[in-house]
Amino acid sequence: MNRWKVAFFVAVLIALLSNGYWLVRSIDGAISYSYLIDSYNQERSRFNALGALVVAGSDDYDKADILHLLRQAQADAFIVEEPDKIAYESIEFVFSDGQLVEVK
């Protein structure tokens, strides 16, 4: 057999193996991304349920009380107070007329 035939078949074999490898990696990445999106959606629904529970249970607290509780919970946390909301870490407490109406 000629040397160029051997080189050709080796090159074709390497090309097939590398394409198969990248195909498997792509499928694995797509499956991992699907699991990541599902996990994110579940966490977001849990967070929304917890936010609704906090809003329902905070009828007796106004904005100053919630701010005080947040500062007591974690004194060195980054808390931003605005006229209609409090931003705590990556959580926003939205107020209307001094009463908590939503947690984002």
**Residues 66, 84: Cα–Cα separation, whole Å:** 13
Angle at 95 between CA 44 and CA 58, to 5 degrees: 75
Q: Would the CA dihedral through 72, 76, 81, 85 be positive or negative?
A: negative
Same domain? 3 vs 50:
yes
pLDDT at 1 over 80: no
How many folded domains does the chain comprise?
2
Same domain? 49 vs 66:
no
Same domain? 104 vs 64:
yes
- Asked if 64 contacts 46 with a C-beta cutoff of 8 angstroms, the reply is no
Q: Is 98 left (phi over 0), alpha (psi -120 to 50) or beta?
A: left
How confident is the model over 44-84, as pLDDT tens digits?
898 888 888 888 887 778 888 888 888 888 888 888 888 89
Same domain? 85 vs 46:
no
Q: What residues make up the domain containing 101? A: 60-104
